[in-house]
Structure 1
Amino acid sequence: MADKVCVGAIAGSFGVRGEVRLKSFCATPDDIATYGPLSTEDGRRSFDIQLTRPVKAGFAARLSGVTSKEAADALRGTRLFAPRSALPSLPDDEYYHADLIGLSAQDTGGQPRGKVSAVLNHGASDLLELRVPGQKGTVLVPFTLEIVPTVDLAQGRIVIDPPEGLFDD
């Protein structure tokens, strides 16, 4: 498990006074401002976050040290990370996406099925994107208790019970 978790991204500038358009990846979107200073992935920069108002698909926000539209524009696409220790602990059946990425997947018979390369959510529910050995593309697996009955973070694996036809065996 990583010692930091991606909680949001800067989508660009907002206005002309250095505010940014901030997209939150938190379950409660405005929690992004409560996790203390957020850092870039490489840890070279950190920012105190002050949300100023909700905007379409996120928030307008002030970041410490960002005072111009040009500085805000230069941060477009920057992902922001919080220390894992600042995040709330989760119930037994919930996981941070960062903890799922990289887990190996096997079916209920023990056959390897790939590795989790991403966790996607397009509105309805989470999908695990698996990179499957020997295949060019990826396979999307619904992240439901019926299809993914076991998540074992300690062993670095998930067990899946794929519906028929999901894998072309």
Structure 2
Amino acid sequence: MQLVVARVGRAHGIKGEVTVEVRTDEPELRLAPGAVLATDPASVGPLTIETGRVHSGRLLLRFEGVRDRTAAEALRNTLLIAEVDPDATPEEPDEYYDHQLMDLDVVTKDGAEVGRITEISHLPSQDLFVVERPDGSEALIPFVAEIVVEIDLEEQRAVIDPPPGLIDDRAARDEVADGHSVASRDAENAPSGEEA
């Protein structure tokens, strides 16, 4: 199975290094020197990582055969793709690969159907499940322990305990009708950043 693990950014310096936008929770494994990565577009690769280092909070990579700024800049926006065993799991028990979470049914603790995960959105502060509701609308569920209380891969479901208004529009309308500000309520319940 192939997974996108990074996107090449701009060139850094004059010796062929590039910045990368990391899209894996295991960069030390997927983006280590010696790793051979497929690319999108395919005509650019495969690329072999020669060196990697962190500079000012950003990962910098140099690929074999890329020796100057011009060659590095030509790689900009290239997606780096790793071959991953589909049965492999992350080392941490609370972590999951995106492909493990895709298409899981989402239900509340009391068993009410919410929808199906169609996308995982990786934001700087937290990850979000993009859930397609039975009526075709979408719900965004923060992937934090306070809300996503269980991931059951055998049963292919994610169990959530959503705060009022997260998935139930009626609860939000009731709060407005009661004279409470939905925006301030949402701010009080904003989840803290936690990456899974």
TM-score with structure 2 setting the length: 0.66
SS in 2 for 1:70: helix
Partner Cα distance (1:149, 1:42) in 2: 38
The aligned residue for residue 132 of structure 1 is 133
Q: CA deviation at 1:8?
A: 1.8
The aligned residue for residue 73 of structure 1 is 73
The aligned residue for residue 9 of structure 1 is 7
Q: Trace 1:59-70 onto structure 2 (pairs within 5 A).
A: 59-70=59-70
Q: Trace 1:33-112 onto structure 2 (pairs within 5 A).
A: 33=32, 36-41=35-40, 45-85=45-85, 89-108=90-109, 109-112=111-114
| AA at the equivalent of 2:107 | Q
Partner Cα distance (1:41, 1:160) in 2: 35
Q: Higher Cα Rg: structure 1 or 2? A: 2
Name the structure, 1 or 2, with higher relative contact order (CA <8 Å, separation 6+): 1
Match of 1:18 among 13, 16, 20: 16
Identity of aligned residues (%): 30
Query: Where is the helix percentage greater, Structure 1 or Structure 2?
Result: 2
Q: CA offsets, 1:89-120, max 9 Å, x none?
A: 43433212342234332333241334241232
Partner Cα distance (2:133, 2:57) in 1: 33
Alpha-carbon RMSD: 3.1
Partner Cα distance (1:119, 1:4) in 2: 18
Number of aligned residue pairs: 165
SS in 2 for 1:165: coil
